[in-house]
Amino acid sequence: MSQTSGARRADLLAGLAALVLSAVLAVQALGPLLADPQAHLVGEWTHPDNLSNQWLLAWVAETLAAGGDLLHNDRYYWPVGDAPLLAGNGAEGFLYAPLHWALGWPDAVPVYVLLVLVLNGFSGWVLARAAGAGPAVALVGVAFSGASPYVFQELTAGRFSQADIGFLLLSLASGIALLRRPGPWTALALALSLALTSALYWYYGFFSGLFLLVLCLAWGPRRLPLRHLALALGGAALLVSPWLGWSLSHWAEIPGTDEAVFPHPEALLDVSTWALAAGVAPGREAVRGQPLTLWLLSMGGALGAGWALLRPAAGRPPARLALGLLLAALLFRALSFGPIGPWSPFSLLYGSTEPLRRFWWPLRHSVGVMACDLVLAAWLLHGLLGRLKSPGLRGALSAGLPVLLALTAAPLLAARGLPAAVVSSRMTLPPPGYPTLAALPDGVLLEVPLAAEVAGTQQHLIYQRIHHKTLVSGHAPWVRRVRPAAFDARLEQDSFLRAILRVDRAENEDGRFIFDPDDLRALQRAGLRYVGLPREAFPLALRDVVAAHDQVFAALFGAPIIQERGLKIWDVQGWTGASEVEIRPLSWPDDLARPLPDQPLVGRRTPSLIFPDAPAMGPQSPP
């Protein structure tokens, strides 16, 4: 066997091993989600982002299948709608769609997450291999990217676009391969991976470009393969240009693009500290966490890379690449500290232009640091094992040690209370009452609360998966930048909707629910058919508000057509003609704290209709 064919065979076997190892870690991380996807939801349902992102995956898939309008959604925030594909980084739905068509929701989601985790792990091996680690030793990359607290914490929130780091790592690997071995194939690989990375999540595309820029500067302008680099970047721009042009032409549809405040308050919360990756505590900063084993390897690799800069020699990391990785690690680590001052790297970079001002998550730069650590650890392991004189021992350790590091990563993380698996929420489908509603004639469903400052759950989006009715409310209604301004204006202009808002807010101290009957008739003509009162949508402290809604709807529409545990629904066609109802005067309870701006209302609630084990407090602030 020739040396070339032997090397290819080693690469093939190691690549297959990387896929198998990544699959083992993924199955381990998913736990019960794969065994019974109907009974478990990916992520923590009380996280403010999760349920709306689950809804978005299904909406993209079903809109594609129906040949519908991907820019505009009319399934909620009736009659205005919104643009969830752009607003919610919904491009991940294109990759998810075939699984949804075959399996449906929720069964398709754990399978999709499985594929994402496998790609993440495998991409770690590809990156380590592209940087020069041996085929077997490069398996240590799977330990970093296949058991990543960063990924697990993003999945807890249902942030599927951010959890998918595989294409980002592949773009970095392709860039390194292009610098080390320029040619048309490496240029094509970079073009494809960079375009996909950018299309799925624009900021990961920016991360990749920033990372590769640092590598190119360290490589030196005279040594750069300019022709192939131009081919790769031009190809990526060409591939992503239709999606980029479409996104930019609808820039105003993206929430937050009109906010002038920089840094955004969200960016001030999502910041790193000086804690070492091996010592970070649970919470927001857990995304930086690493097992002590992997951290020691990456720190040793950083020292080795620094030594390679001072004393270049055969068998050591390439000096220019080592310099580039060390600089990239320092840059991304500095950016993770966020806007700590007007002259901080984050403030200087992200405050420079309008599209970058909308990036509010400094800790996401941790994924760039992790990519550097991955390569540095692989270099150290490659160098240490290469010193062994026994080929048998060297071969055994080259394969066995990375696998051991990968298999022990999650238990070591779990021992410190860091994200070590995909969190799931036990779920019981279908919820009572809504299947009955699904069988009734089409029409718009108005469920209270409508008031943004009283909203605290997005379960209504999951229930829509069952009853299929258009909703008056929408996703994350407590976030001002998410709600369409035209929707807010409609609520205030319509006397019937405005009266409901007053009850929601416990503001009608005069004890009168009164409206212009012509406004309700207009709503009926436009399509309003049902009014719903889900008890779980209100904190227990607002029991008087719930009782007032019950009294008003009964007086206006008669007996509910659906009455189940924690749910009542009325048919608006049963309107008695009344336009005024006397109710008990309401005021905001002293024992319920009002929410902070753009935050959900948190308070003890009745148990969820479908999440029996979850704490009934409503969504919590995102970690």
Region of residue 503 (left: phi > 0; alpha: psi -120 to 50; beta: else): alpha
pLDDT given for residue 618 in this prediction: 46
Residue 14 has pLDDT above 50, yes or no: yes
DSSP string spanning 453-515? GG----HHHHHHHHH--EESS-SSTT-TTTS-HHHHHHHHH-HHHHHHHHHHTT--TT-EEE-
Residue with tokens 């999502």: 270
Tokens of 569: 């629904």
pLDDT given for residue 260 in this prediction: 66
Residue 255 has pLDDT above 80, yes or no: no
Report which secondary-structure segment, H or E, holds 53.
Answer: helix 50-66
Residue type, 85: L
Q: Provide mean pLDDT across the span 538-545.
A: 95
Q: How many percent of the chain have pLDDT more than 90?
A: 76
Tokens of 620: 């919590």
DSSP string spanning 331-344? HHHHHTT--SSTTS
pLDDT given for residue 617 in this prediction: 47
Q: CA 422, CA 149: separation in Å to the nearest integer?
A: 10
pLDDT given for residue 451 in this prediction: 94
pLDDT given for residue 621 in this prediction: 44
Q: CA 261, CA 355: separation in Å to the nearest integer?
A: 13
Count CA atoms closer than 13 A to 363's CA, side-chain side.
25
By DSSP bridging, strand 512-514 and strand 470-471 are unpaired
pLDDT given for residue 92 in this prediction: 93
Q: Provide mean pLDDT across the span 527-539.
A: 96
237: burial class by Cβ within 10 Å (0-12, 13-18, 19+)? Answer: middle
pLDDT given for residue 212 in this prediction: 97
Q: Provide mean pLDDT across the span 555-566.
A: 96
pLDDT one-digit tens code per residue, 416-472:
999 999 999 999 999 999 999 999 999 999 999 999 999 988 999 999 999 999 999
Confirm if 320 and 333 have CB atoms less than 8 A apart: no
Q: Which residues pair with 567 in a beta bridge?
A: 534, 564
| Of 117-131, 306-320, 477-491, the least confident | 306-320
Report which secondary-structure segment, H or E, holds 301.
Answer: helix 292-310
pLDDT one-digit tens code per residue, 323-345:
999 999 999 999 999 998 888 99
Torsion of Cα atoms, 149 then 152 then 156 then 157, to 10°:
80
pLDDT given for residue 620 in this prediction: 47
pLDDT given for residue 622 in this prediction: 45
pLDDT given for residue 275 in this prediction: 94
φ and ψ of 608, to 5 deg: -65, 150
Tokens of 377: 């650890």
Helix axes 366-386, 202-219, angle to 10 degrees: 50
Closest to 141 measured CA to CA, from 263, 276, 297:
297
pLDDT given for residue 315 in this prediction: 60
Report which secondary-structure segment, H or E, holds 501.
Answer: helix 495-504
Indicate the DSSP class of residue 534.
Answer: E
- Distance between terminal CA atoms of the chain? 54
Residue 615 has pLDDT above 50, yes or no: yes
Tell me, letter by letter, the H, E, C secondary structure of 568-600. Answer: EEEEHHHCCCCCEEECCCCCCCCCCCCCCCCCC
pLDDT given for residue 394 in this prediction: 84
Q: CA 43, CA 109: separation in Å to the nearest integer?
A: 11
Q: CA 518, CA 396: separation in Å to the nearest integer?
A: 81
pLDDT given for residue 134 in this prediction: 92
pLDDT given for residue 2 in this prediction: 61
Q: How many percent of the chain have pLDDT more than 70?
A: 96
pLDDT given for residue 308 in this prediction: 82
Residue 263 has pLDDT above 90, yes or no: no
pLDDT given for residue 257 in this prediction: 64
pLDDT given for residue 547 in this prediction: 96
